[in-house]
């Protein structure tokens, strides 16, 4: 977390040592940003710095963080109830970046939340945590407790007149809670379903109060922006976007994992230099560049810069930046079926197209993979991909996200679909190896 650190988010993460305590965190540069912000900066100045840093939300949508905060009413925390929520409900298949941050350095998230809460003048903080992240939960509770004992949380922090505390909410577990309004509904103790917008959470969120929901990785960037300056952070990016990004690769590569790199790092470099390329005996066929709800791209797009605009031009989305590899010995139909099974079971059931359409897609893919598919099934899949994938035809973005791998897979793997139907079986041999 030093000013010269090229990897601001992960510089203090050492799995062998465990997360730092408050003293270790401070010796490494922690709490500098909170001291600076609460001691000499106004909330407007914090928002301005974050806006100029070009920090975009790291949860998948990529909305400008400072721009999002600017929508919040400006009353001081003492005059109006507001909430800051850290979205740690990391359930996107293939994504594990927030877990790394939560387990490796939870105090960084605590400091980031203090800064964000001060910027929007929210006195109440909540970490909405994936229920299965039990080790992260233990470490986060420990970090919050110690920060509270040291005076970094609670009433009148550093004598600034600003009060803020954090509560951890372990989710019962639904993928739809990654959608911020469904997350808010779940926090209110109700069934996790998305809300109609407007009002947007920044003006009418949790229990009707102004609320900001930011991803864990987004919040962890804030201490470094405040200490090192917005120009420093913006300059870390290789293109129009600012900062670093935690990228990951899963699948049959030599070294699956996650790495913090400048945003805009080429996809080929991530796969070949950091993930070590494909395992011996396997060839890269295609991949999902940003988690399960992004469209497939093939090997012709490997030189794409992994930033929001470039990946979109390549026909997909940056999403969470965590690539899922499809190798030449894995059946693409089976992979898509597995993804659609997940999306079907995770639909909140609020709107008919998503509730009924996704299970129907799953059944069609089951039949094709099992060898009982018919030619007309392809027409039905294409129709579902077009109807469910179009924004605005379902209540939220769950179904369009689910259709991204299907719609792109129908184009890229048309020959595989045809072979399954014509041969009455999956032509890929079973048991391709570990």
User: Tokens 């809670």 identify what position?
Assistant: 177
Pick the CATH number of 244-327 from 3.40.1190.20, 1.20.1440.130, 3.30.1370.110, 3.10.20.600: 3.10.20.600
238-256 as b/e: b if 16+ CB within 10 A: beebbbbbbbbbbbbbeeb
Architecture of domain 22-236: 3-Layer(aba) Sandwich (3.40)
Measure the CA–CA gap between 149 and 22, rounded to whole angstroms. Answer: 10
Fold of 332-423: de novo design (two linked rop proteins) (1.20.1440)
Closest of 384, 430, 425, 432 to residue 404, by C-alpha? 384
Q: Where in the chain is the domain with CATH 1.20.1440.230?
A: 332-423
- Most distant pair of Cα atoms in the chain: their distance: 74
Q: What is the pLDDT along the chain (434 residues), one digit of tens a residue?
A: 344 455 688 888 887 788 999 999 999 999 999 999 999 999 999 999 999 999 999 987 889 999 999 999 999 998 999 999 999 999 999 999 999 999 999 999 999 999 999 999 999 999 999 999 999 999 999 999 999 999 999 999 999 999 999 999 998 878 999 899 999 999 999 999 999 889 999 999 999 999 999 999 999 999 999 999 999 999 999 999 999 999 999 999 999 999 999 999 999 999 999 999 999 999 999 999 999 999 999 999 999 999 999 999 999 999 999 999 999 999 999 999 999 999 999 999 999 999 999 999 999 999 999 999 999 999 999 999 999 998 888 999 999 999 999 999 999 999 999 999 999 999 886 444 44
At CA 197, angle to CA 124 and CA 206, rounded to 5? 20
DSSP assignment string, 71-94: TS----TTTS--EEEEEE---STT
DSSP assignment string, 374-406: -HHHHHHHHHHHHHHHSTTSSSSSHHHHHHHHH
Beta bridge partners of 302: none
Q: Where in the chain is the domain with CATH 3.10.20.600?
A: 244-327
The secondary element (H helix, E strand) that includes residue 262 is strand 257-262
Measure the CA–CA gap between 235 and 54, rounded to whole angstroms. Answer: 10
Q: Cα 10 to chain center, whole Å? A: 16
Measure the CA–CA gap between 382 and 403, rounded to whole angstroms. Answer: 10
The answer to whether residues 380 and 417 touch, using CB atoms and an 8 Å cutoff, is: no
The answer to whether residues 76 and 119 touch, using CB atoms and an 8 Å cutoff, is: no
Measure the CA–CA gap between 215 and 203, rounded to whole angstroms. Answer: 18
Measure the CA–CA gap between 244 and 388, rounded to whole angstroms. Answer: 33
Q: Where in the chain is the domain with CATH 3.40.50.11540?
A: 22-236
The answer to whether residues 252 and 323 touch, using CB atoms and an 8 Å cutoff, is: no
The reported pTM is 0.93
Strand spans (E) along 282-416: 284-288, 297-298, 322-327
C-alpha distances out from residue 362 to 152, 181, 391, 427, Å: 49, 26, 20, 19
* Backbone φ, ψ for residue 104 (5° rounding): -85, -35
């Amino acid at each position: 977390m030093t000013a010269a650190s090229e990897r601001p988010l992960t510089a203090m993460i050492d799995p062998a040592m465990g997360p730092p305590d408050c003293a270790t965190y401070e010796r490494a540069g922690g709490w500098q940003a909170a001291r600076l912000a609460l001691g000499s900066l106004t909330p407007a100045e914090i928002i301005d710095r974050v806006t100029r840093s070009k920090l975009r939300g790291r949860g998948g949508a990529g909305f400008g963080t400072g721009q999002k905060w600017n929508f919040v009413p400006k009353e001081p925390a003492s005059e109006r109830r507001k909430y800051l929520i850290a979205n740690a409900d990391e359930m996107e298949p293939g994504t594990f970046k927030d877990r790394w941050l939560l387990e490796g350095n939870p105090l960084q998230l605590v400091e980031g939340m203090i800064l964000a809460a001060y910027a929007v003048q929210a006195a109440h903080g909540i970490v909405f945590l994936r229920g299965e992240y039990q080790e992260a939960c233990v470490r986060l509770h420990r970090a919050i407790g110690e920060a509270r004992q040291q005076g970094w949380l609670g009433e009148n922090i550093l004598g600034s007149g600003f009060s803020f505390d954090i509560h951890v909410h372990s989710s019962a577990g639904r993928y739809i809670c990654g959608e911020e309004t469904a997350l808010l509904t779940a926090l209110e103790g109700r069934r996790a379903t998305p809300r109609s917008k407007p009002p947007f959470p920044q003006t009418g969120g949790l229990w009707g109060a102004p609320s900001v929901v930011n991803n864990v990785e987004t919040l962890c960037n804030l201490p470094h922006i405040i200490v090192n300056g917005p120009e420093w952070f913006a300059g870390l990016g290789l293109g129009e976007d600012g900062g670093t990004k935690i990228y990951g690769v899963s699948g049959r590569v030599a070294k699956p994992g996650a790495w913090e790199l400048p945003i805009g790092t080429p996809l080929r470099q991530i796969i070949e230099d950091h993930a070590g390329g494909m395992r011996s005996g396997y060839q890269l066929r295609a991949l999902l560049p940003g988690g399960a709800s992004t469209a497939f791209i093939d090997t012709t797009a490997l030189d794409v810069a992994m930033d929001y605009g470039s990946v979109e031009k390549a026909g997909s989305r940056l999403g969470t930046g965590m690539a899922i590899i499809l190798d030449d010995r894995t059946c693409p139909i089976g992979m898509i079926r597995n993804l659609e099974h997940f999306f079907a079971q995770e639909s909140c059931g609020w709107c008919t197209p998503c509730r009924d359409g996704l299970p129907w897609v799953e059944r069609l893919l089951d039949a094709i993979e099992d060898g009982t598919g018919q030619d007309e099934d392809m027409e039905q899949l294409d129709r579902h991909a077009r109807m469910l994938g179009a924004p605005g035809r379902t209540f939220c973005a769950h179904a369009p996200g689910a259709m991204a791998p299907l719609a792109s897979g129908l184009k890229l793997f048309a020959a595989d679909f045809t072979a399954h139907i014509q041969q009455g079986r999956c032509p890929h041999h079973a048991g391709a190896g570990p």
